[in-house]
Amino acid sequence: MKKLTFTDLLITIMVGVVFGILMKFWDDLYTAIKPVLPVARQLLYGMWFMNGVFAFLLIRKPGVALIASIAGAGLSAFIGHGLGVLIYGAAQGLAAELLFAAFRYRKFSIPFAGLAGVASCAASFGLDLIYGYADLETWALIVKYGLRAVSAFIFTGVFAVLVIRALEATGVTNSIRPVAKEEYSLLDR
Amino acid sequence: MPAWFTPERMTWLFRVNPALKFAVFLLLLFITLFNRNLPLAAWLAVLSAILLYGFSGYSAKKLALLSIPIALSFASSFITMALFGKGDTVLWQWGIFKISEESIRHGLLLGTKSLSFGFTGFAFLLTVEPVLFFYAMMQQFRLPSKYAYSFIASIRLLPVIAEEIQVRSNALKVRGITFSRGVRGVGERIRSYTVPLFAQSIRRAQRIAIAMEAKQYQMGAARTYFYSTSYSRHDAIFLAVMAVSVAAVFWLSFGVPY
Protein backbone atom coordinates (compact mmCIF):
# COMPACT_ATOMS: atom_id res chain seq x y z
CA MET A 1 0.00 0.00 0.00
CA LYS A 2 1.22 3.48 -0.84
CA LYS A 3 2.35 5.17 2.36
CA LEU A 4 1.97 8.83 3.21
CA THR A 5 5.09 10.92 2.78
CA PHE A 6 5.62 13.98 4.95
CA THR A 7 4.56 16.21 2.04
CA ASP A 8 1.30 14.26 1.71
CA LEU A 9 0.65 14.56 5.40
CA LEU A 10 1.30 18.29 5.53
CA ILE A 11 -0.96 18.85 2.52
CA THR A 12 -3.66 16.68 4.08
CA ILE A 13 -3.62 18.62 7.31
CA MET A 14 -3.47 21.93 5.45
CA VAL A 15 -6.52 20.92 3.40
CA GLY A 16 -8.28 19.97 6.63
CA VAL A 17 -7.44 23.31 8.20
CA VAL A 18 -8.58 25.27 5.14
CA PHE A 19 -11.84 23.36 5.30
CA GLY A 20 -12.05 24.28 8.96
CA ILE A 21 -11.97 27.96 7.98
CA LEU A 22 -14.41 27.50 5.10
CA MET A 23 -16.75 25.71 7.50
CA LYS A 24 -16.54 28.71 9.80
CA PHE A 25 -17.78 30.98 6.99
CA TRP A 26 -20.35 28.35 6.03
CA ASP A 27 -21.51 28.18 9.62
CA ASP A 28 -22.29 31.89 9.60
CA LEU A 29 -24.52 31.39 6.57
CA TYR A 30 -26.05 28.30 8.14
CA THR A 31 -26.83 30.08 11.39
CA ALA A 32 -28.38 33.00 9.53
CA ILE A 33 -30.92 30.82 7.73
CA LYS A 34 -31.33 28.27 10.51
CA PRO A 35 -34.51 29.65 12.06
CA VAL A 36 -36.23 30.71 8.82
CA LEU A 37 -35.62 27.86 6.40
CA PRO A 38 -35.24 24.53 8.18
CA VAL A 39 -35.29 22.58 4.89
CA ALA A 40 -32.60 24.69 3.20
CA ARG A 41 -30.58 24.39 6.36
CA GLN A 42 -30.46 20.61 6.12
CA LEU A 43 -29.57 20.90 2.44
CA LEU A 44 -26.54 23.02 3.30
CA TYR A 45 -25.40 20.51 5.90
CA GLY A 46 -23.39 18.43 3.43
CA MET A 47 -20.52 20.91 3.64
CA TRP A 48 -19.59 19.30 6.98
CA PHE A 49 -18.95 15.97 5.27
CA MET A 50 -16.85 17.30 2.40
CA ASN A 51 -13.54 17.60 4.18
CA GLY A 52 -12.36 13.98 4.42
CA VAL A 53 -13.73 12.93 1.05
CA PHE A 54 -12.17 15.92 -0.68
CA ALA A 55 -8.75 15.25 0.84
CA PHE A 56 -8.88 11.61 -0.23
CA LEU A 57 -9.88 12.51 -3.80
CA LEU A 58 -6.94 14.88 -3.86
CA ILE A 59 -4.17 12.70 -2.43
CA ARG A 60 -5.62 9.22 -3.08
CA LYS A 61 -3.81 7.43 -0.27
CA PRO A 62 -5.02 5.52 2.80
CA GLY A 63 -5.54 7.45 6.02
CA VAL A 64 -6.03 10.81 4.33
CA ALA A 65 -9.81 11.05 4.78
CA LEU A 66 -9.57 10.40 8.51
CA ILE A 67 -6.62 12.73 9.15
CA ALA A 68 -8.08 15.63 7.16
CA SER A 69 -11.42 15.27 8.84
CA ILE A 70 -9.86 15.35 12.31
CA ALA A 71 -7.67 18.32 11.31
CA GLY A 72 -10.68 20.28 10.07
CA ALA A 73 -12.71 19.47 13.16
CA GLY A 74 -9.73 20.31 15.35
CA LEU A 75 -9.49 23.72 13.76
CA SER A 76 -13.24 24.29 14.12
CA ALA A 77 -12.88 23.36 17.77
CA PHE A 78 -10.03 25.84 18.21
CA ILE A 79 -11.88 28.74 16.61
CA GLY A 80 -14.82 28.36 18.88
CA HIS A 81 -17.04 25.39 18.09
CA GLY A 82 -15.88 23.51 21.15
CA LEU A 83 -14.24 20.17 21.58
CA GLY A 84 -17.46 18.31 20.80
CA VAL A 85 -17.00 18.75 17.04
CA LEU A 86 -13.74 16.84 17.35
CA ILE A 87 -15.68 13.67 18.21
CA TYR A 88 -17.98 14.22 15.22
CA GLY A 89 -15.08 14.96 12.90
CA ALA A 90 -13.27 11.79 13.91
CA ALA A 91 -16.36 9.62 13.43
CA GLN A 92 -17.22 11.15 10.05
CA GLY A 93 -13.68 10.85 8.79
CA LEU A 94 -13.47 7.25 9.93
CA ALA A 95 -16.70 6.37 8.11
CA ALA A 96 -15.48 7.91 4.84
CA GLU A 97 -12.11 6.22 5.29
CA LEU A 98 -13.74 2.80 5.79
CA LEU A 99 -15.85 3.25 2.68
CA PHE A 100 -12.84 4.08 0.53
CA ALA A 101 -10.96 1.18 2.14
CA ALA A 102 -13.82 -1.16 1.24
CA PHE A 103 -13.08 -0.33 -2.43
CA ARG A 104 -9.35 -0.70 -1.77
CA TYR A 105 -8.76 3.04 -2.26
CA ARG A 106 -9.20 2.72 -6.00
CA LYS A 107 -12.49 4.50 -6.69
CA PHE A 108 -12.55 8.26 -7.18
CA SER A 109 -15.74 8.90 -9.16
CA ILE A 110 -18.93 10.73 -8.21
CA PRO A 111 -20.94 7.73 -6.95
CA PHE A 112 -18.18 6.49 -4.64
CA ALA A 113 -17.30 9.95 -3.33
CA GLY A 114 -21.01 10.55 -2.74
CA LEU A 115 -21.36 7.23 -0.94
CA ALA A 116 -18.43 8.14 1.31
CA GLY A 117 -20.28 11.35 2.17
CA VAL A 118 -23.42 9.40 2.95
CA ALA A 119 -21.31 7.09 5.16
CA SER A 120 -20.03 10.16 7.04
CA CYS A 121 -23.62 11.33 7.35
CA ALA A 122 -24.58 7.92 8.79
CA ALA A 123 -21.74 8.16 11.31
CA SER A 124 -22.92 11.58 12.45
CA PHE A 125 -26.46 10.18 12.68
CA GLY A 126 -25.11 7.42 14.94
CA LEU A 127 -23.54 10.04 17.24
CA ASP A 128 -26.77 12.06 17.17
CA LEU A 129 -28.64 8.91 18.26
CA ILE A 130 -26.27 8.49 21.19
CA TYR A 131 -26.39 12.19 22.05
CA GLY A 132 -30.17 12.38 21.81
CA TYR A 133 -30.65 14.71 18.82
CA ALA A 134 -32.43 11.95 16.93
CA ASP A 135 -35.32 11.30 19.33
CA LEU A 136 -37.71 13.12 17.03
CA GLU A 137 -41.16 12.19 15.75
CA THR A 138 -40.68 9.66 12.95
CA TRP A 139 -41.67 12.04 10.13
CA ALA A 140 -39.35 14.75 11.42
CA LEU A 141 -36.54 12.21 11.75
CA ILE A 142 -36.94 11.03 8.15
CA VAL A 143 -37.18 14.57 6.75
CA LYS A 144 -34.18 15.81 8.75
CA TYR A 145 -31.74 12.98 8.09
CA GLY A 146 -33.10 12.17 4.62
CA LEU A 147 -32.39 15.71 3.44
CA ARG A 148 -29.06 15.61 5.18
CA ALA A 149 -28.05 12.42 3.36
CA VAL A 150 -29.10 13.92 0.01
CA SER A 151 -27.05 16.99 0.82
CA ALA A 152 -24.08 14.81 1.81
CA PHE A 153 -24.23 13.09 -1.57
CA ILE A 154 -24.43 16.38 -3.50
CA PHE A 155 -21.59 18.05 -1.60
CA THR A 156 -19.16 15.15 -1.39
CA GLY A 157 -20.09 13.48 -4.65
CA VAL A 158 -20.87 16.24 -7.11
CA PHE A 159 -19.24 19.36 -5.65
CA ALA A 160 -16.06 17.74 -4.31
CA VAL A 161 -15.42 15.80 -7.52
CA LEU A 162 -16.03 18.90 -9.66
CA VAL A 163 -13.67 21.03 -7.58
CA ILE A 164 -11.05 18.28 -7.76
CA ARG A 165 -11.41 18.17 -11.56
CA ALA A 166 -10.95 21.93 -11.70
CA LEU A 167 -7.85 21.58 -9.51
CA GLU A 168 -6.53 18.87 -11.82
CA ALA A 169 -6.90 21.32 -14.68
CA THR A 170 -4.67 23.79 -12.84
CA GLY A 171 -1.94 21.13 -12.72
CA VAL A 172 -1.42 21.38 -8.99
CA THR A 173 -2.39 17.75 -8.40
CA ASN A 174 0.25 16.29 -10.74
CA SER A 175 3.06 16.62 -8.26
CA ILE A 176 1.26 15.15 -5.27
CA ARG A 177 -0.58 12.08 -6.56
CA PRO A 178 1.01 8.62 -6.46
CA VAL A 179 2.14 7.49 -9.88
CA ALA A 180 -0.35 5.04 -11.40
CA LYS A 181 0.53 1.75 -13.11
CA GLU A 182 -0.55 3.09 -16.51
CA GLU A 183 1.94 5.90 -16.20
CA TYR A 184 4.77 3.45 -15.56
CA SER A 185 3.69 1.37 -18.55
CA LEU A 186 4.00 4.49 -20.72
CA LEU A 187 7.74 4.31 -20.07
CA ASP A 188 7.94 0.85 -21.63
CA ARG A 189 6.56 1.90 -24.97
CA MET B 1 -4.03 34.00 18.97
CA PRO B 2 -5.39 37.56 18.70
CA ALA B 3 -4.74 39.93 21.58
CA TRP B 4 -8.37 39.68 22.62
CA PHE B 5 -7.66 36.20 23.92
CA THR B 6 -5.39 37.22 26.77
CA PRO B 7 -6.74 36.45 30.20
CA GLU B 8 -6.87 38.97 33.04
CA ARG B 9 -5.01 36.63 35.33
CA MET B 10 -3.29 33.28 34.99
CA THR B 11 -5.22 30.72 36.99
CA TRP B 12 -4.06 27.26 38.06
CA LEU B 13 -5.86 25.84 35.01
CA PHE B 14 -3.19 27.48 32.80
CA ARG B 15 -0.40 25.66 34.59
CA VAL B 16 -1.87 22.22 34.09
CA ASN B 17 -0.15 20.19 31.37
CA PRO B 18 -2.17 20.96 28.20
CA ALA B 19 -2.22 17.38 26.96
CA LEU B 20 -3.43 16.06 30.32
CA LYS B 21 -6.07 18.79 30.46
CA PHE B 22 -7.21 17.81 26.98
CA ALA B 23 -7.54 14.14 27.96
CA VAL B 24 -9.54 14.92 31.10
CA PHE B 25 -11.85 17.37 29.33
CA LEU B 26 -12.38 14.94 26.46
CA LEU B 27 -13.39 12.33 29.03
CA LEU B 28 -15.93 14.80 30.46
CA LEU B 29 -17.30 15.32 26.96
CA PHE B 30 -17.66 11.58 26.43
CA ILE B 31 -19.56 11.24 29.71
CA THR B 32 -21.83 14.06 28.53
CA LEU B 33 -22.24 12.49 25.09
CA PHE B 34 -23.38 9.09 26.35
CA ASN B 35 -25.39 10.33 29.32
CA ARG B 36 -29.21 10.17 29.16
CA ASN B 37 -29.93 11.23 32.73
CA LEU B 38 -31.25 14.78 33.19
CA PRO B 39 -29.92 15.48 36.73
CA LEU B 40 -26.47 14.21 35.72
CA ALA B 41 -26.50 16.37 32.59
CA ALA B 42 -27.50 19.40 34.64
CA TRP B 43 -24.81 18.87 37.29
CA LEU B 44 -22.18 18.27 34.61
CA ALA B 45 -23.21 21.61 33.08
CA VAL B 46 -22.82 23.23 36.51
CA LEU B 47 -19.34 21.71 36.91
CA SER B 48 -18.19 22.90 33.50
CA ALA B 49 -19.71 26.34 34.15
CA ILE B 50 -17.69 26.59 37.37
CA LEU B 51 -14.54 25.65 35.44
CA LEU B 52 -15.20 28.27 32.78
CA TYR B 53 -16.54 31.19 34.85
CA GLY B 54 -14.48 30.56 37.96
CA PHE B 55 -11.09 29.49 36.69
CA SER B 56 -10.52 30.62 33.11
CA GLY B 57 -9.21 33.97 34.33
CA TYR B 58 -11.11 36.01 31.74
CA SER B 59 -13.08 39.15 32.56
CA ALA B 60 -16.82 38.84 33.13
CA LYS B 61 -17.50 40.95 30.01
CA LYS B 62 -15.57 38.65 27.71
CA LEU B 63 -17.09 35.56 29.27
CA ALA B 64 -20.56 37.03 28.81
CA LEU B 65 -19.83 37.65 25.11
CA LEU B 66 -18.53 34.11 24.68
CA SER B 67 -21.62 32.76 26.40
CA ILE B 68 -23.98 34.11 23.73
CA PRO B 69 -23.42 31.25 21.23
CA ILE B 70 -23.65 28.71 24.06
CA ALA B 71 -26.96 30.17 25.19
CA LEU B 72 -28.19 30.13 21.57
CA SER B 73 -27.26 26.48 21.16
CA PHE B 74 -29.11 25.71 24.41
CA ALA B 75 -32.20 27.51 23.09
CA SER B 76 -32.11 25.99 19.61
CA SER B 77 -31.63 22.40 20.76
CA PHE B 78 -34.28 22.81 23.46
CA ILE B 79 -36.88 24.37 21.14
CA THR B 80 -36.39 21.90 18.26
CA MET B 81 -36.64 18.92 20.57
CA ALA B 82 -39.61 20.31 22.52
CA LEU B 83 -41.58 20.99 19.32
CA PHE B 84 -40.70 17.91 17.24
CA GLY B 85 -39.58 15.37 19.82
CA LYS B 86 -41.24 12.03 20.51
CA GLY B 87 -43.75 11.90 23.35
CA ASP B 88 -47.19 10.62 24.35
CA THR B 89 -48.33 12.90 27.17
CA VAL B 90 -49.30 15.76 24.85
CA LEU B 91 -49.54 19.17 26.46
CA TRP B 92 -50.13 21.32 23.39
CA GLN B 93 -50.51 20.67 19.69
CA TRP B 94 -50.83 22.93 16.66
CA GLY B 95 -50.33 21.55 13.17
CA ILE B 96 -47.01 19.79 12.98
CA PHE B 97 -45.87 21.18 16.34
CA LYS B 98 -46.50 18.95 19.33
CA ILE B 99 -45.22 19.62 22.81
CA SER B 100 -45.32 16.71 25.23
CA GLU B 101 -43.94 16.16 28.71
CA GLU B 102 -41.35 13.76 27.32
CA SER B 103 -40.26 16.13 24.60
CA ILE B 104 -39.79 18.99 27.08
CA ARG B 105 -37.76 16.74 29.36
CA HIS B 106 -35.74 15.59 26.39
CA GLY B 107 -35.27 19.15 25.20
CA LEU B 108 -33.91 20.12 28.60
CA LEU B 109 -31.54 17.15 28.51
CA LEU B 110 -30.25 18.19 25.09
CA GLY B 111 -30.02 21.82 26.16
CA THR B 112 -27.98 21.07 29.28
CA LYS B 113 -25.76 18.74 27.27
CA SER B 114 -24.99 21.51 24.79
CA LEU B 115 -24.26 23.82 27.74
CA SER B 116 -21.70 21.29 29.03
CA PHE B 117 -20.17 20.94 25.59
CA GLY B 118 -19.89 24.71 25.22
CA PHE B 119 -18.57 25.45 28.71
CA THR B 120 -16.04 22.61 28.70
CA GLY B 121 -14.86 23.52 25.22
CA PHE B 122 -14.25 27.15 26.13
CA ALA B 123 -12.72 26.28 29.51
CA PHE B 124 -10.13 24.26 27.60
CA LEU B 125 -9.56 26.59 24.65
CA LEU B 126 -9.26 29.76 26.74
CA THR B 127 -6.65 28.26 29.03
CA VAL B 128 -4.41 26.58 26.48
CA GLU B 129 -1.61 27.81 24.25
CA PRO B 130 -2.06 25.95 20.91
CA VAL B 131 1.66 25.52 20.23
CA LEU B 132 2.39 24.27 23.75
CA PHE B 133 -0.58 21.92 23.45
CA PHE B 134 1.03 20.19 20.47
CA TYR B 135 4.42 20.08 22.18
CA ALA B 136 2.82 18.46 25.22
CA MET B 137 0.97 15.98 22.99
CA MET B 138 4.34 14.98 21.50
CA GLN B 139 6.22 14.77 24.78
CA GLN B 140 3.66 13.43 27.22
CA PHE B 141 1.32 11.49 24.91
CA ARG B 142 3.80 10.39 22.22
CA LEU B 143 1.89 11.96 19.34
CA PRO B 144 4.21 11.46 16.32
CA SER B 145 5.97 14.72 15.54
CA LYS B 146 4.86 14.64 11.89
CA TYR B 147 1.24 15.31 12.93
CA ALA B 148 2.10 17.92 15.52
CA TYR B 149 4.40 19.95 13.25
CA SER B 150 1.98 19.76 10.34
CA PHE B 151 -0.73 21.18 12.59
CA ILE B 152 1.52 23.90 13.95
CA ALA B 153 2.60 24.90 10.44
CA SER B 154 -1.01 24.98 9.24
CA ILE B 155 -2.14 27.04 12.21
CA ARG B 156 0.64 29.54 11.55
CA LEU B 157 -0.73 30.01 8.04
CA LEU B 158 -4.30 30.72 9.15
CA PRO B 159 -4.03 34.51 8.78
CA VAL B 160 -2.70 34.10 5.23
CA ILE B 161 -5.59 31.82 4.30
CA ALA B 162 -8.17 34.12 5.87
CA GLU B 163 -6.67 37.00 3.88
CA GLU B 164 -6.80 34.97 0.68
CA ILE B 165 -10.50 34.31 1.19
CA GLN B 166 -11.01 38.06 1.61
CA VAL B 167 -9.00 38.84 -1.52
CA ARG B 168 -10.93 36.27 -3.53
CA SER B 169 -14.22 37.64 -2.29
CA ASN B 170 -13.21 41.19 -3.28
CA ALA B 171 -11.94 39.97 -6.65
CA LEU B 172 -15.26 38.32 -7.42
CA LYS B 173 -17.07 41.48 -6.38
CA VAL B 174 -14.91 43.75 -8.53
CA ARG B 175 -15.44 41.51 -11.55
CA GLY B 176 -19.17 41.63 -10.96
CA ILE B 177 -19.56 37.87 -10.75
CA THR B 178 -23.08 36.73 -9.98
CA PHE B 179 -24.14 33.22 -9.05
CA SER B 180 -27.19 31.26 -10.23
CA ARG B 181 -29.97 30.48 -7.79
CA GLY B 182 -30.50 27.20 -5.97
CA VAL B 183 -28.20 24.19 -5.85
CA ARG B 184 -26.28 25.21 -8.98
CA GLY B 185 -25.48 28.54 -7.35
CA VAL B 186 -24.15 26.80 -4.23
CA GLY B 187 -21.92 24.68 -6.46
CA GLU B 188 -20.65 27.71 -8.39
CA ARG B 189 -19.94 29.57 -5.18
CA ILE B 190 -18.00 26.65 -3.68
CA ARG B 191 -16.02 26.17 -6.86
CA SER B 192 -15.10 29.80 -7.34
CA TYR B 193 -13.80 30.07 -3.78
CA THR B 194 -12.18 26.70 -3.22
CA VAL B 195 -10.24 26.19 -6.46
CA PRO B 196 -7.80 29.13 -6.08
CA LEU B 197 -7.73 28.70 -2.32
CA PHE B 198 -6.76 25.05 -2.45
CA ALA B 199 -4.38 25.44 -5.36
CA GLN B 200 -2.46 28.02 -3.31
CA SER B 201 -2.64 26.08 -0.06
CA ILE B 202 -1.44 22.85 -1.66
CA ARG B 203 1.55 24.56 -3.25
CA ARG B 204 2.36 26.31 0.01
CA ALA B 205 2.12 23.10 2.05
CA GLN B 206 4.35 21.35 -0.44
CA ARG B 207 6.97 24.09 -0.23
CA ILE B 208 6.97 23.97 3.57
CA ALA B 209 7.30 20.18 3.63
CA ILE B 210 10.21 20.29 1.21
CA ALA B 211 11.87 23.06 3.20
CA MET B 212 11.50 21.09 6.43
CA GLU B 213 12.93 17.95 4.90
CA ALA B 214 15.77 19.95 3.35
CA LYS B 215 16.63 21.04 6.90
CA GLN B 216 16.79 17.36 7.87
CA TYR B 217 13.37 16.94 9.44
CA GLN B 218 12.68 13.19 9.41
CA MET B 219 9.43 11.46 10.20
CA GLY B 220 9.81 9.08 13.13
CA ALA B 221 13.39 10.08 13.99
CA ALA B 222 14.25 10.62 17.67
CA ARG B 223 14.32 14.32 18.41
CA THR B 224 14.61 17.00 21.07
CA TYR B 225 12.07 19.77 21.62
CA PHE B 226 12.40 23.54 21.68
CA TYR B 227 9.71 23.88 24.34
CA SER B 228 9.96 21.17 26.93
CA THR B 229 6.74 20.34 28.75
CA SER B 230 6.37 18.05 31.74
CA TYR B 231 4.04 17.05 34.54
CA SER B 232 4.14 19.13 37.72
CA ARG B 233 2.36 19.29 41.05
CA HIS B 234 -0.36 21.37 39.36
CA ASP B 235 -1.28 18.27 37.40
CA ALA B 236 -1.68 16.24 40.58
CA ILE B 237 -3.90 18.98 42.02
CA PHE B 238 -5.89 19.16 38.78
CA LEU B 239 -6.46 15.40 38.69
CA ALA B 240 -7.50 15.37 42.35
CA VAL B 241 -9.89 18.32 41.91
CA MET B 242 -11.46 16.80 38.80
CA ALA B 243 -11.83 13.36 40.39
CA VAL B 244 -13.52 14.82 43.47
CA SER B 245 -15.80 17.08 41.38
CA VAL B 246 -16.88 14.28 39.05
CA ALA B 247 -17.55 12.05 42.06
CA ALA B 248 -19.58 14.88 43.60
CA VAL B 249 -21.53 15.34 40.36
CA PHE B 250 -22.41 11.63 40.30
CA TRP B 251 -23.38 11.68 43.97
CA LEU B 252 -25.60 14.76 43.49
CA SER B 253 -27.27 13.10 40.48
CA PHE B 254 -27.82 9.60 41.80
CA GLY B 255 -27.20 9.66 45.55
CA VAL B 256 -29.66 12.45 46.38
CA PRO B 257 -33.37 11.70 45.94
CA TYR B 258 -35.40 14.33 44.06
The domain of A94 spans 6-171
Q: Does any domain span residue A186? A: no
* Residue of A27, A41, A131, A168 to mutate for B, most B C-beta atoms under 10 A: A131
Q: Does any domain span residue B226? A: no
- Residue B152: pLDDT over 80: yes
Q: Does any domain span residue A70? A: yes
The domain of B17 spans 3-136+231-255
Determine the Cα–Cα distance for residues B108 and B35; give it in Å rounded to an integer.
13
Tell me, yes or no, whether B56 and B163 share the same domain. Answer: no
Determine the Cα–Cα distance for residues B136 and B14; give it in Å rounded to an integer.
13
Residues of chain A found within 8 Å of residue B76, distances taken between Cβ atoms: 34-35
- Contact residues for A18 (Cβ-Cβ < 8 A; gap 6+): B161, B197, B198, B201
Angle between helices B233-250 and B38-49 (to 10 degrees): 150
- Residue A118: pLDDT over 70: yes
Cβ of B192 under 8 Å from any chain A Cβ?
no
- Residue B255: pLDDT over 60: yes
Q: Does any domain span residue A161? A: yes
Q: What residues 20-59 of chain B have any CB closer than 8 A to a CB of chain A? A: 25-26, 29-30, 33-34, 36
Tell me, yes or no, whether B124 and B154 share the same domain. Answer: no
Q: Does any domain span residue A13? A: yes
Closest Cβ–Cβ partner in B76, B77, B206 for A7 = B206
- Residue B225: pLDDT over 90: yes
Tell me, yes or no, whether B116 and B150 share the same domain. Answer: no
* Residue of B25, B124, B165, B194 to mutate for A, most A C-beta atoms under 10 A: B194
Q: Does any domain span residue B130? A: yes
More confident residue, A188 or A50: A50
Determine the Cα–Cα distance for residues B12 and B26; give it in Å rounded to an integer.
19
More confident residue, B189 or B249: B249
Sequence letter at residue B2 = P
- pLDDT, averaged across chain B: 90
The share of chain B scoring above pLDDT 70, in percent, equals 99
**3-state secondary structure (DSSP) of residue B94:** strand
Tell me, yes or no, whether B110 and B157 share the same domain. Answer: no
Sequence letter at residue A76 = S
Q: What residues 115-174 of chain B have any CB closer than 8 A to a CB of chain A? A: 117-118, 120-122, 124-125, 130, 146-147, 150-151, 153-155, 157-158, 161-162, 165
Determine the Cα–Cα distance for residues A184 and A58; give it in Å rounded to an integer.
20
pLDDT of A168 reads 92
* Residue of B56, B190, B202 to mutate for A, most A C-beta atoms under 10 A: B202
Q: What is the pLDDT averaged over residues A121-136?
A: 90
B137 — pLDDT class (breaks 50, 70, 90): very high
Q: Which of A62-66, A104-108, B9-13, B156-160 has the lowest mean pLDDT?
A: B9-13
pLDDT of A33 reads 67
Q: What is the pLDDT averaged over residues A10-36?
A: 83
Tell me, yes or no, whether B34 and B86 share the same domain. Answer: yes
Q: Does any domain span residue A131? A: yes
| Tally of structural domains, chain A | 1
pLDDT of B91 reads 78
**3-state secondary structure (DSSP) of residue A34:** coil
B220 — pLDDT class (breaks 50, 70, 90): confident
Tell me, yes or no, whether B27 and B131 share the same domain. Answer: yes
Q: Does any domain span residue B58? A: yes
**Alpha helix (H) ranges present in chain A?**
6-33, 38-43, 47-59, 64-76, 84-102, 110-131, 138-152, 160-170, 181-188
**Alpha helix (H) ranges present in B126-157?**
130-139, 145-156
CATH code for the domain in which residue A83 is found: 1.10.1760
Cβ of B5 under 8 Å from any chain A Cβ?
no
pLDDT of B95 reads 74
The share of chain B scoring above pLDDT 90, in percent, equals 64
- Residue B2: pLDDT over 70: no
| Tally of structural domains, chain B | 2
Q: Hey, are the CB atoms on B85 and A11 less than 8 Å from each other?
A: no
CA distances from A43 to A19, A38, A155, B157 (A): 18, 9, 9, 31
pLDDT of A36 reads 62
Tell me, yes or no, whether B117 and B189 share the same domain. Answer: no
More confident residue, A51 or B88: A51
- Which residue in A has a C-alpha nearest to residue B119's C-alpha? A82
Tell me, yes or no, whether B131 and B151 share the same domain. Answer: no
Q: Does any domain span residue B224? A: no
Tell me, yes or no, whether B116 and B241 share the same domain. Answer: yes
Q: Does any domain span residue A1? A: no
**3-state secondary structure (DSSP) of residue B61:** helix
Q: Which of the listed ranges A88-102, B101-115, B214-228 does the model predict with the highest average pLDDT? A: A88-102
A-B contacts (CB, under 8 Å): 167
pLDDT of A72 reads 95
Q: Does any domain span residue A187? A: no
Q: What is the pLDDT averaged over residues B219-242?
A: 93
More confident residue, B79 or B249: B249
Tell me, yes or no, whether B84 and B201 share the same domain. Answer: no
pLDDT of B233 reads 94
Tell me, yes or no, whether B202 and B242 share the same domain. Answer: no
Q: Hey, are the CB atoms on B158 and A175 less than 8 Å from each other?
A: no
Per-residue buried b or exposed e for A45-68, using 16+ beta carbons within 10 Å of the residue's own CB: bbbbbbbbbbbbbbbbbbbbbbbb
Determine the Cα–Cα distance for residues B118 and B71; give it in Å rounded to an integer.
9
- Residue B88: pLDDT over 60: yes
| Backbone dihedral angles phi then psi of residue B175, each to the nearest 5 degrees | -80, -5
pLDDT of B9 reads 83
Residues of chain B found within 8 Å of residue A137, distances taken between Cβ atoms: 84-86, 98
Q: Does any domain span residue A188? A: no
Q: Does any domain span residue B221? A: no
Structure-derived torsion over alpha carbons of residues B10, B122, B43, B23, reported in degrees to the nearest 10 = -80
Sequence letter at residue B90 = V
pLDDT tens digit sequence for B11-44? 889 999 999 999 999 999 999 999 999 999 999 9
pLDDT tens digit sequence for B97-112? 778 888 888 899 999 9
Determine the Cα–Cα distance for residues A89 and A94; give it in Å rounded to an integer.
8
**3-state secondary structure (DSSP) of residue B90:** strand
Residue B97 pairs with which residues in a beta bridge?
Answer: B94
pLDDT of A178 reads 72
CA distances from A185 to A1, A177, A181 (A): 19, 17, 6
- Residue B167: pLDDT over 70: yes
Tell me, yes or no, whether B164 and B238 share the same domain. Answer: no
pLDDT of A51 reads 94
Q: Hey, are the CB atoms on B206 and A74 less than 8 Å from each other?
A: no
- Contact residues for A112 (Cβ-Cβ < 8 A; gap 6+): A99, A100, A103
Q: Which of the listed ranges A142-146, B134-138, B174-178 does the model predict with the highest average pLDDT? A: B134-138
